[in-house]
Amino acid sequence: MKLIQLYGDRGLKIVKGEGQYVWDINGKKYIDMHTGIGVAFLGHRNKIVVDYLRRQMDQIITLSNSFSTPIKDEMVSMVDKIKPDNMDNIILLNSGTEAVEAALKTARKITGRKKIIAFKNAFHGRTSGSLSVTWNKKYREPFEPLVSPVEFLNFNDINELSKIDEQTAAVIVEPIQGESGVIPAKQDFMRALREVTEKVGALLIVDEVQAGFGRTGKVWAYQHYGIVPDLLTAGKAIGGGFPVSALFLPDWIAGKLEEGDHGSTFGGNPLAMAAVTAACKVLYDDKVPEQAYHKGELFMKILKDKLADLKSVKEIRGKGLMIGIDSRFPPATTLKVAQDNGVLVLKAGVTVIRLLPPYVISQDDMEVAANAIREGLLKTESQRVTS
C-alpha cells in the first residue's frame, strides 16, 4: 500500500511538535514557520487545545448536528467574543475549501444570481466550486468545465471593479493573497470593492482561511480596511491544529437558509467544537492578535535589516505574522538551506519565501530564521553567478 503524496516531499520525518518547534526522527529541532501552511498559528500542541480535546474524547467524539451537547453551548459563547462584525451565525465544516463552497452556494441562493467574480492570482481551494474561483490554471484546467459563470478581475485595480454588475451574485476576495505571494489588498481597493458590491446588490465574501484568526494583527484581516463583508470564511488556525473550518454570516442571510441547503457528516462534530472553543479562548485570553501585530513588526524589521544588502531581494511585505520575501529567483535553494539550518519555511507564487510562524515565536527564533534565510539567499545568488 502506498499513500499518494500530493504535496512535495521535504525529506523529513517529523515525530514531535511543541510550541513553535518540531523535531525530526533523529532528534533535530526546527523552528517551524511552515506550520502546516498556517494551521499551527497557536503553536503545536497548545495546552488549552489539547486539554479541551482530551476532555471531549472522554465524553463523546461523534454526534450528528441534529443533537445538542454541552460543548456546543460553550463554543457558541466563546466564538461570540471573537466573531466578525455583525455576524451572529456560524456553520462549522472541515476544511477551508468546504467553507468557500458553502459561501458560494449561499450567495447564489440569497441573490438568485449565478455569476461569481474572483481575482487573478487568487487561491480559494481545490474542490469544484472553490477551484472555479482559483486563478492558477495549473490547478483548474485539468478539471474544467467547473462551476460557471466566473470572471477574474485584476487584484488591487479599482478600474476593474466597474465589471461588477447586477448579474453578480458575489465577489470573493482574500484580504491578503497568500498562495500567490503574500500580497496585501490596498486600502482604497477594498473600500471601493465594498461600495460597488453594495451598490449592485452582490454579496462580498472575504476568504480568511489563511489570513484570519489573529495572524495579521487583527482578529480578522478585513478589519485593517474599515469595511464589513457579507460572508467570511475561516479555517486553518481556528481549530488550534484540529481540522475544522467555518462560514460566518449575519442574521439577514442566515434566516434565508433552509434545512438541507448545506450539510456535512463530520462538520461541527464534538471534537471540532472543543477545538474551536479552546482556540477562541486562547486567542481572546492571550491577546493573540496584539502579540501577532507587535511580533510581526519586530520580525519585519529584523528581516529588512538582515537582508537589506542582498540584490536578490525585491520586497519584504505582509501584515502581522504573515510575511513574504519576494526574491528575484525561485526559492527552492533558500528553503533547503533554511531547513538544513533548522528553520522550516515555505514558498508562495513563483519567487516568494512565505513565513507563517506561530504567535509564540521569540525574538531569538526570528534572528535565527533571518540568518538561515540570508544564507539561503546568498547561496542562490552565488549559484546564479556561477551558472
Residue with cell 460572508: 231
Q: What is the pLDDT of residues 278-307, one digit of tens each?
A: 999 999 999 999 999 999 999 999 999 999
**Do 194 and 67 share a domain, yes or no?**
yes
Q: Is 343 helix (H, G, I), strand (E, B) or coil?
A: strand
**Do 303 and 168 share a domain, yes or no?**
no
**Do 159 and 298 share a domain, yes or no?**
no
**Do 204 and 308 share a domain, yes or no?**
no
The annotation places the binding site for substrate at 126, 264
Please say which residue of 224, 252, 285 terminates a domain: 285
Q: Which pLDDT does position 381 carry in this prediction?
A: 87
Nearest to 314 by CA among 175, 183, 163, 154: 183
Parallel, antiparallel or unpaired: strands 168-173 and 115-119 = parallel
**Do 382 and 274 share a domain, yes or no?**
no
**Do 353 and 269 share a domain, yes or no?**
no
**Do 80 and 141 share a domain, yes or no?**
yes
Residue 143 located in a structural domain: yes
The pTM for the full model equals 0.97
How many angstroms separate the CA atoms of 312 and 285, rounded? Answer: 41
**Do 318 and 378 share a domain, yes or no?**
yes
Q: What is the pLDDT of residues 148-194, one digit of tens each?
A: 999 999 999 999 999 999 999 999 999 999 999 999 999 999 999 99
Parts of the chain with a pLDDT under 50: none
Domain count, the chain: 2
Locate 323 and state its grid cell.
510575511
Please say which residue of 239, 261, 285 terminates a domain: 285
Q: Is 373 helix (H, G, I), strand (E, B) or coil?
A: helix
Residue 141 located in a structural domain: yes
Taking a C-beta distance cutoff of 8 angstroms, is the pair 354, 177 a contact?
no
Residue 38 located in a structural domain: no
b (16+ CB within 10 A) / e for 352-378: bbbbbbbbbbeeebbebbbebbbbbbb
Q: Which pLDDT does position 387 carry in this prediction?
A: 60
**Do 222 and 328 share a domain, yes or no?**
no
The annotation places the binding site for pyridoxal 5'-phosphate at 96-97, 123, 207-210, 265
316 CB-near residues (< 8 Å, 6+ apart): 300, 303, 304, 307, 323, 324, 325, 326
- Residues belonging to the chain: 387
Residue 28 located in a structural domain: yes
**Do 293 and 339 share a domain, yes or no?**
yes
**Do 281 and 295 share a domain, yes or no?**
no
Q: Is 101 helix (H, G, I), strand (E, B) or coil?
A: helix
**Do 91 and 237 share a domain, yes or no?**
yes
CATH code: domain of residue 236: 3.40.640.10
Nearest to 316 by CA among 307, 325, 308: 325
Query: 10 Å Cβ neighbour count for 300?
Result: 19
**Structural domain range at position 58:** 47-285
Nearest to 133 by CA among 167, 180, 101: 101
Residue 258 located in a structural domain: yes
Helix 270-285 vs helix 288-307: angle between axes, to the nearest 10 degrees?
70
39 CB-near residues (< 8 Å, 6+ apart): 236, 237, 239, 241
The annotation places the binding site at 96-97, 123, 126, 207-210, 264-265
Burial label, 287 (beta-carbon count in 10 A; 0-12, 13-18, 19+): middle
Residue 37 located in a structural domain: no
Residue 1 located in a structural domain: no
Phi, psi of 156 (to 5 degrees): 65, 20
Please say which residue of 250, 266, 285 terminates a domain: 285
Q: Which pLDDT does position 383 carry in this prediction?
A: 84
Strand order, beta sheet including 14-18 = 14-18, 21-24, 29-32, 343-344
Residue 228 located in a structural domain: yes
CATH code: domain of residue 327: 3.90.1150.10
